[in-house]
Amino acid sequence: MAKVESPQVTRRTTRSYSASNDAIESTKPIEPYKPTLNDLGFRQQPLSFEDLLSCLPGRRTQVLELLRLLGPLNSPMFPILIYGGPSTGKTSVILQVFRHLNRPFVYSSCVTCYSPRILFESILNQLFHRKNSGNSYSSIKRCEKPSDFVNYLREALESVIKNLKGNSGKLSSKVSGQPNGTMIYLVFDHLERVRKWDKSSTILPFLFNLFDILKMPEVGLIFISNTSPDTYYFNMGYVEPIPLCFPDYTEDDLRQIFMANQTNRKLYSSFLDVVLRPFCRVTRRVDELSAVFSSLFKKYSQPLSDMGVAPNEDMKRRLFSHLQPHITSALNETFLSPSWPPLLKDEANGETKKKGSSRMSRIHEDFDKIDFHMSTSAKYLLISAFLASRNPATLDASLFDSTGVSDSRKRKRKPSEKSLEQKEMTELELLMKGPGTFPLERLLAIFQCITSLAEDSLDEEESHELTIEGGSSGLMSDVLLQLSSLCNANFIIKGGSCPLEGSTRYRTAVSEDLALKVARSLKFPLSKYLYRR
Amino acid sequence: MGREKEKENPSQKALNLLRTRLSNPNFVFKPLSDSPDSNYSKLKFIISSSITEACNNSILLLGPRGSGKVAVLELVLSDLLQQYPEAISVIRLNGLLHGDDNCALKEIARQLCMEHQLLFSKVASFDDNSQFLIAMLRECGLAHKTIIFVLDEFDLFAQAKQRLLYSLLDAMQSVTSQAVVIGVSCRLDVDQLLEKRVRSRFSHRKLLFLPPSKEDTERFLEHILSLPKDSSLPHSYTVEFNGRLKNVLADERFKELINTYLSFNSTIGQLMRFLFQAVSYMDLDVGFLSLENFKTALSSTQRQPKSECIKDCSILELYLLVCMKRLEVKEQNSYNFNSVMTEYKSIHDFQTSDNYAGNVCLRAFEHLLQRELISFTDNRGHNQSVEFRPVKLLISPAELYHGLKSYRSCPAILLKLIAR
């Protein structure tokens, strides 16, 4: 009798399970990394003074003043507050200065550490602890209150300083690249975020008074903030840290910054001659300017066949005239990077032409299309929300009656002086108050009307293009989901509930331009439905 | 200045020495406490008498920030610890950290345990801790040991229910306990914040810390900044340093400078920060303090943050600010971004060089919000988009005018508009 082997049911394993099994079999358990004093320094080659100044253009005075306030090795200091506009180089200067001085420091940013507990634990973790799988990625100590933080910090700092003092005695420390000195510096970046925390009324004075509370001369505190020191005044007093101002870059500094690391300096310098002055009238922030300059430079050097050439006067004039229309259009855009790269955009234009009648005009190609993707029902919902906010509720019946759009015949009279005045007042009111609120039922009613109209009009065209199954009931089931995703994307704002009725009211948050763009992409005649006073 | 030199030159050592001195409050306040009627002597007398006579006491130290209350207290305590080594134990609390009563009692228990080598349990409840405290007070009283409670930022303890204060002061009423409660605060009226039952148990002793007189300040400056003769610095350098320092201090311009500084920042602590800045500006190649160092330090304390912000603004942002000021002049009480835009467009009826589109202006508007030159007037704020929320200017018309006048390449139209 043949043995009937019971069919072996192979166990289905997921990929990670089989991988981890292999890993456990093949490798030894990895030793947890023990952080040492070296981790408190910058961990890269220290810079010389000239390198420091050259990698931070336009910041010579600030670097010198910072070096003076930090002082020579092992000298105690009072807390410093570095303040200046965004993208003025405050964080980079501090980090590069510490790299140059090769002193140990602990950096924590109040953007990534968005609550007191995370901030405290992050600082304590950097002083000799590494989260790894051995301790299941937990912090060294759970620390929520400032009192616990001060106690743990004192312990950790005392052990670190003892190590530093032990090391500074040996000569070999300089050779092995360990950080110098017996002082340790705590850097708190983005301090202005702390003002928005819940416990800001105790945490901010605590941070500013930390120097007096700790009473350890080996600790230096440095605060970096985007707003000036006068925005930190509270009821609770504190001794002010020494302020250090980082003013915005001047035009010459900007030129120096943009010229760094350019391959063809003469070409780029002639480009900057053309664009720097007009764009500096709008904004002087480096991040915004660099975004627009990179795309404009590509357009500027388009007619050039050889990128390495140094332009003469004649070429400069030609390049300038080529660039001129692009400058005026770029000045009126906020300098976002496009979500589609320009090459793909051409293909997309080619594809949409397949869908039959498209009336997109070539000149306004860039500005007419919305550059993000929305489903059709979401677009209709957005338009309905816009109409619900803009039109008064009493007009719905006449606008959306079953016979389609009815042209209002009442407006043939010539407007009198008083009604003109009233019109102005109501326009002013509209400017001030903003779009109105509407309840959910009204939104759904308008949505129903619009989509039924759209289906009727599309039935006349090639109806197999659209993939909506069977009438408006197919759209309806998605609508509430779509509504909540539109609320999350801030296209519709959910307000408080009306005190009389108790239902939540919504408000539209899109501008008229965007609504028109969306309507145009659906071929929906939005302007016929908008109530003009 | 690539790597720190092994052998420091004397100016660097002197700089280190001065900086260490200035940031050490104990050194700073010692000379001011030498006279017999200073706060130091009074405080020492009160505490030492309550130790020797084995009685309870409470006292408040009041004065503006930086006038040396905690520094003098630490000096007194360190002297007394030397004098009576076994008879004192000190518990330090801070209102910022331990304002909550649970937290405060936990900290008291922790410090007591640390001092007497007992095991501290982190999960002890409020009742456990308070019973422990009372028991310790009794034990220490029997052993003739005084517990000194230092309550820094006393006004923060007096905020919610004052349970801690009441329990401490109540425990002091019994005959067996020996405790001294020292409250330190910047609010001069802090005893008015106390509840009736707490205030009745409090002895109304107060010590006021006032800024020193002019002569005291001058003597004090010389003492602080002169290098000591017996340090490791070369003798000739020390002598020359002190000589030059004397010349600078005797200079009339220096006296005027110090008076200017003291007229708006009169406490010793802030004077220390000023001297620290001046000392750090010392030129290491020259190696001596000069009047220029002090002048630079003074100018760096006299900043005008809003004018600096105006200098950092771009021209479009200046346009928006001028439009807002014009709206205020027209007595429109509340205006939002859309009304500012209509005003902006109306300015450009006769000139089109700086006319930008709506989204660019909105971005400039948001930059102004970030710099805190304007702010929203409503607090709830999340019901409306940015263009409709009412805003207000946070900069006065005079500051705006001065800022525009000192702006490099300010367009003439703005100056004309704001002058009206």
A228 touching B (Cβ < 8 Å): yes
Domain finish residue from A225, A246, A267:
A246
- What was the pLDDT predicted at B183? 93
Same domain, A176 and A264: no
- One domain, residues B54 and B140: yes
DSSP assigned state of B335: B
Q: Does A500 touch chain B (CB under 8 A)?
A: no
Stretch (H or E) spanning B181: strand B179-185
Task: Give pLDDT, residue A130.
Answer: 60
Residue at A333 is within a domain: no
A425 in contact with chain B, both atoms CB, cutoff 8 A: no
Same domain for B192 and B55: yes
Domain that holds residue B348: 307-419
Q: Are residues B164 and B93 in the same domain?
A: yes
Distance from CA of B54 to the nearest CA of A (A): 30
Rounded to 10 degrees, the C-alpha dihedral B23/B28/B30/B31 comes to 160
**Does residue B175 sit in the same domain as residue B286?**
no
Distance from A145 to chain B by nearest Cα, in Å?
8
Domain ends where: A246, A272, A301? Answer: A246
Which chain B residues are Cβ-neighbours of A100 within 8 angstroms? 2
pLDDT of residue B92: 93
**Nearest CB neighbour to A248, from listed B312, B339, B385:** B312
Looking at the fold, whether A211 and A231 belong to one and the same domain comes out as yes
Q: Tell me what pLDDT residue A390 has.
A: 83
**Best mutation target, B13, B19, B27, B306, to test chain A (most A CBs within 10 A):** B19
Say if CB A185 and CB A104 are below 8 A apart.
Answer: yes
- A282:B314 CB<8 A: yes
Stretch B120-147: mean pLDDT, rounded?
86
Beta carbons within 10 angstroms of residue A126's beta carbon:
19
Would you say residue A387 lies in a domain? yes
DSSP H helices, A127-264, are: 146-169, 172-175, 200-208, 210-214, 251-259
- Are residues A24 and A47 part of one domain? yes
pLDDT tens per residue, range A13-66: 556 555 555 444 444 555 556 666 666 777 777 778 888 888 888 889 899 999
Considering only residues 335 to 394 of chain B, which have any Cβ-Cβ distance to chain A shorter than 8 Å?
A: 335-336, 338-339, 342, 354, 356-360, 362-364, 367, 370-372, 382-385, 387-388, 390
Residues A71 and A96 in one domain: yes
Identify the band that residue B382 occupies on the pLDDT scale cut at 50, 70 and 90.
low
Min Cα distance B392 → chain A (Å) is 14
Q: A242 and A218 share a domain?
A: yes
Please tell me whether residues A392 and A498 are part of one structural domain. yes
Task: Check which CATH number belongs to the domain holding A41 and give it.
Answer: 3.40.50.300
User: Which residue, among A137, A185, A143, A141, has the nearest Cα to A160 in the 3D structure?
Assistant: A185
**Residue owning tokens 């220390």:** B272
Which residue of A209, A245, A332 is in closest CB contact with B96?
A: A209
Pick from A242, A245, A434: CB nearest B388? A434
Position A247, amino acid: P
Nearest CA to CA, how far is A400 from chain B (Å)?
27
Same domain, A230 and A291: no
* B53 and chain A in contact, CB less than 8 A: no
Predicted local confidence at residue B330, as pLDDT: 84
Do B330 and B202 reside in the same domain of the chain?
no
Residue B1: pLDDT band (50, 70, 90) is very low
Cα–Cα distance for residue pair B356/A328, rounded to 1 Å: 10
Cross-chain residue pair B342–A431, CB shorter than 8 Å: yes
- CB A237 to CB B23 under 8 A? no
In this prediction the pTM is: 0.83
Do B197 and B48 belong to one domain?
A: yes
In angstroms, the separation between the Cα of residue A79 and the nearest Cα of chain B is 10
Chain A contact set for B312 (CB, 8 A): 85, 247-248, 284
Q: ipTM greater than 0.95, yes or no? A: no
Among B272, B302, B332, residue at a domain's last position: B302
Interface test with B, best of A83, A283, A336, A492 (most B CBs within 10 A): A283
- B29 occurs within a structural domain: no
Q: What local confidence, expressed as pLDDT, does residue A291 receive? A: 85
3-class state of residue A496 by DSSP: strand
Residues 99-128 of A with CB under 8 A from B: 100, 102
> Does residue A516 belong to any structural domain of this protein?
yes
Tell me if B2 is assigned to some domain. no
Segment A354-367 mean pLDDT: 37
> According to the model, what pLDDT value does residue B181 have?
93
> Are A263 and A163 members of one domain?
no
Q: In terms of domains, do A156 and A77 share one?
A: yes
Picking from B2, B358, B383, the nearest residue to A48 by CB comes out as B2
pLDDT given at position B77: 92
CB contact under 8 Å between B385 and A72, yes or no, is no
Say which residues have a Cβ less than 8 Å from residue B287's Cβ, sequence separation at least 6.
B9, B10, B11, B14, B237, B241
Residues B153, B69 contacting (CB under 8 angstroms): no
> Do residue B189 and residue B44 come from a single domain?
yes
Last residue in a domain, options B169, B185, B208: B208
- B121, B233: one domain: no
Query: What per-residue confidence (pLDDT) applies to A463?
Result: 47
B280:A68 CB<8 A: yes
Regarding whether B200 and B60 lie in a shared domain, the answer is yes
Q: Give B303's contacts in chain A (Cβ within 8 Å).
A: 243, 245
Same domain, B311 and B297: no
Neighbours of A344 (CB within 10 A): 11
By residue range, what is the domain housing residue A521? 376-402+427-458+472-529
Does residue A493 form part of some domain? yes
Tokens read off for B143: 């052993």
Touching B: A residues 447-476, CB under 8 Å: none
Does residue A445 carry a pLDDT above 70? yes
Nearest CB to A146; choose among B96, B273, B277: B96
pLDDT interval class at B312 (50, 70, 90): confident
Kind of pairing between the strands at A437-439 and B88-94: unpaired
- Which chain A residues are Cβ-neighbours of B23 within 8 angstroms? 76-78, 217
Q: How far apart are CA A368 and CA B18, in angstroms?
A: 67
In this structure, what CATH number is given to the domain that contains residue B370?
Answer: 1.10.10.10
Same domain, A19 and A56: yes
Higher pLDDT, A364 or B347: B347
State the CATH number of the domain containing residue B103.
3.40.50.300
Is position A138 within any domain? yes
CA distance B164 to chain A (A): 16
CATH code where residue A397 lies:
1.10.10.10
pLDDT at B223: 86
* B31: in domain: no
Is the pLDDT at A466 greater than 60? The verdict is no
Total count of domains within chain A = 3
Whether B31 contacts B221, CB under 8 Å: no
pLDDT digits (tens, 9 = 90+) for B47-82: 999 888 888 889 999 998 888 889 899 999 999 999
Work out the minimum CA distance from B318 to partner chain A, whole angstroms: 10
In a domain, B319, yes or no: yes
Query: A339 lies in a domain?
Result: no
Residue A333 DSSP symbol: S
Three-state SS for A66-115 is HHHHHCCCCCCCCCEEEEECCCCCHHHHHHHHHHHHCCCEEEEECCCCCC
Query: Which ranges in A408-494 belong to alpha helices (H)?
Result: 417-433, 440-460, 471-488
A264 shares a domain with A238: no
State which residue of chain B sits closest to A213, comparing Cα positions.
B94
Residue B414: which residues within 8 A CB-CB, separation 6 or more? B318, B319, B322, B404
Q: What is the per-residue pLDDT for A403?
A: 54
Percentage above 90 pLDDT, chain B: 14
| Contact between chains at B360 and A509 (C-beta distance less than 8 A) | no
pLDDT score recorded for residue A185 = 92
Give yes or no for residue A377 having a pLDDT over 80.
yes
B376 and B315 in one domain? Answer: yes
Residue B23 domain-assigned (yes or no):
no
Of residues A132, A153, A287, the one with CA closest to residue A211: A153
Instruction: Decide which of A321, A343, A361 is a domain's last residue.
Output: A321
Contact at CB, A283 and B370, closer than 8 angstroms:
no
Last residue of a domain, one of B186, B208, B230: B208
Question: Residues B392, B367: one domain?
Answer: yes
pLDDT digits 0-9 by tens, B213-255:
888 888 888 888 888 887 788 888 888 888 988 888 888 999 8
- pLDDT of the residue at A225: 93
- Tell me which long-range contacts A28-36 makes (C-beta under 8 A, separation of at least 24): A32/A130, A32/A132, A32/A134, A32/A135, A33/A130, A33/A132, A34/A130, A35/A128, A35/A129, A35/A130
Statement to judge: residues A123 and A64 lie in one domain: yes
Output the pLDDT for position A359.
33
- B348 part of a folded domain: yes
Residue A366 pLDDT > 60, yes or no?
A: no
Contact of B85 with chain A, judged by CB distance below 8 Å, is answered with: no
pLDDT at residue B193 is higher than 70: yes
CB contact under 8 A, B306 and A245: no
Q: Is A351 among the domain residues?
A: no
Q: How many domains does chain B have?
A: 3
- The encoded tokens of residue A498 equal 């009306």
In DSSP terms, B62 is beta-bridged to B185, B208
Q: Which residues pair with A222 in a beta bridge?
A: A80, A187
> Residue B306 is encoded by which pair of tokens?
């809003």
The 10s digit of each residue's pLDDT in A59-113 is: 898 999 999 999 888 889 999 999 998 888 899 999 999 988 888 899 999 999 9
Q: Is residue B28 part of a domain?
A: no
**Average pLDDT value for residue range A384-393:** 85
